[in-house]
Structure 1
Amino acid sequence: MAVNLSKNGSALMAAYKKVVDAKSDTDWALFTYEGNSNDLRLAETGGGGLELLVEELNSGKVMYAFCRVPDPNSGLPKYVLINWTGEGVKDSRKGMCANHLSAIANFLKGAHVTINARTEEDVEPETILTKVAKASGANYNFHKQQNYIDAPRGPVGSVYRKVNAVEEIQQTNKDNFWDQAQRDEELRRKEERKRAEQERQNAKREMRELDEKQAKERERRTKDRAHQIELERRDEEERESEQQRLEAKSLISQRAFNPRDIFKQREQSFEANTPSPVTSRPGQKHNKLTLRGGRAPTHCTEVRVALLQHIFTQIKDYNNPGDGEQQRYKARALYDYQAADDTEITFDPDDIITEIEMLDEGWWRGFGPDGNYGLFPANYVELLND
């Protein structure tokens, strides 16, 4: 990037004018950059010779000095531009600032000698004055009268120009310096572009790896959350099922009417109404005993069958007092139930119970999955729509 001379242009120009003013006590001005920017600023001005100027140079900065020194040969004021690049300056900064020297030289016009300095040995007052003396191209003193013989002058061609070896050497060195500086700058730019491309690729790869890692982490959290929700749902269903089962048991235990009592009451009533056997004559006692002993099982079975038919008929009449065929229902078991005796049925969850008769709100009767017919708690099942 180009050097910025306009930001602090007024201060730079004021210091420059003091140096070129022969009546001013200021004989040098020192310039440097603002931080790592390309904005040139005034660092210091002073008088008293090059010794004070050398003390202000910083080995970690790029600086420019414009100073006024007397010509050792003629005593006339000469202006020197010093391009100071400290040993501690980074190579990238050196290459960038090397392109600024021409613009600064155009701004600080009138320099008779330009010195590229790296160490303090390059800016010793004796070294600078020696270069000024060589650059003047003559060894004379206005304050000392010299004897000379006016030699005859011959015609001089209009295209003739005296060759100054010192100037030619300085110009060659300057050209070589700028060529090397440009090559260094081009190499630095290539390295910077290569490094920037490598950093971009590394950043792109790191970003891709980070995205993949975050995606896997999100997927893992989603699966864990779904698994946790499923476990909570199952726990909630189990709690609700257990609560409903406990409520059903509680309702069964609190019921006011137990259909099994009907069977007991009907059985007692039926036995009470059964006529007692006719008393036999004394002579027939043995035959009576033999007959009773032989027919006892058959008689009990017939009594039991008649009793059950009588009870079922009365329960049916009790449940449906009106005429007509009773409506039958089907139901699906919600919970498992174990029969307490042979008047009840056993079933598991999701079993289908058919031919249901609704005896009361708490107990129904129907065919279980094993084909047995009996009672079961009504709140252990749910009715199915035909």
Structure 2
Amino acid sequence: MGLQVNFSAHAKELQDAYQAVLSDTNPTNWLVYSYEKGTNDLKVQDTGDGGLEELFDEFSDGKIQYAFARVIDPNTQLQKYVFIGWCGTGVPESRKAFFNSHLNDVSKFFKSFHVQIQARDEADVEPELIMKRVAESSGAKYSVHKEQQRAMPRVVPVGSVYKKTEIPDIASMQKEAMKKESMPAPVGTNYRPVQTAPKPLNQRWGAGSTGLSDGAAKVRAEREQAEQEARERETAMQKERDAQARQASVEQERRAKEQEQLEQQRLAEDQRQREQQQQEEERRRAQEQQDARHRQEEDQRRAEEEQQAERQRQEAQRRQEEAERQRQQEEEAERQQQEAERQQLEAERQQQEAERQHQEAERQREEERLAAQHQAAATVPTSNVQGQSAVVLFGYDAGEANELSLAEGQVVINIEQVDEGWWFGTTEDGQQQGLFPANYVQLIEASEAPAVVPEPPAAVVHDQPETTQDLGQTAVALYDYDAGEENEISFREHDTITHIEFASDDWWQGVGPDGKSVGLFPANYVELHQ
């Protein structure tokens, strides 16, 4: 369906109805056009000869209709044409949008009319209102048009050939004159008595012929009078004909002038209506342009809002994705850190285990060496086996299993200066031996050292079981714990964990209850022994 109004679908019916309203001989004085359902094809809805009162009932609230009517101007008594564009209040908005453009096209189809009305409800098409608009469109209200037309006298055409005035019958006239003593009645309204010339004096010498002369003179006078009257009648008739001709000419000129004035008024009205239509068309176009600008601005604003919303949605999604990536990265970093910590703890544990094993091996070798020395000392004199001795200046608690705890005033014998800062020695009773810091003791000269009774070989230290000091830091389990990793140890409530090393605040390392497994365990699951 095109957007423009279509006149071609029912062109003949539209044109026939229009010509019927224009025709003076056709009683049809109004028509109504409407659309085919669902299209822009214009059709004839109805026609009639009942005037504006009948046309009033044809308009429907839910339709767009176009009416054309022929009325009589109450001022000029001339025919006027009225064009009505009807757009009911119940018309859908989608159809109302095309009303103005279609109205312009239909007005061009009707070509010429005196009054145009745009109507939306019944108040706009009241017959009284329409006739008021028609009366106002005719301009000045001349009272002459309300008077009855006067009958004009018939104008007798003036003959073009001269006709001689007939001479009246003198004899018959004399007979009639002799019968009447009074003067003859005047002829017509224009009769004027003829002033005859004074009678001539009788000849004094011709008295015998006086009777004959008087009779001839009288006849001649009557003939002249009749001719004069005929001429006067002819003159009067000619004057009357001239007056009638002049009056007809004046009337014709008045009518022509009035017709010219009416034509000028009609042209002026047509020009005014064209200008009004042009102004309305310009206003309509300006309104359409303004509406188009408003729609464009609204569409642009809506597009900008949608773009802004899309940008915000994308930004929120990007932030969410960034937060998710950051969370995953943090989790991955935390997992890697925990893994690194576990690996570091495992490495430290392995290193500590290696160091412990190395120290244990060193201790065993040292014990074997000391045992060999003790065994050799049993075969030599006492003065040669004592070696260097020292008195303890400060108390010292062993920090490792291969160290020797010292008490102030204690005597350490068989001292070997294995390192610049650390010496190796045996307690005076021979029960303990190990490393101790050299600056915690003071060597005793040989003359000052008391004699020491050599110990029997059976009392070698490495053949005795380890004391509780060799277990290092210990703790008792408060709860059951099952290892979650290979580098962890398991234990049950009340089990004892030995050789504890504090790898971190939350995780410690130690030897399990079986005395073999070494690994990590949670610090809050145990309680240290005091």
TM-score (norm 1): 0.49
Q: Greater relative contact order: 1 or 2 (C-alpha under 8 angstroms, separation 6 or more)?
A: 1
TM-score (norm 2): 0.38
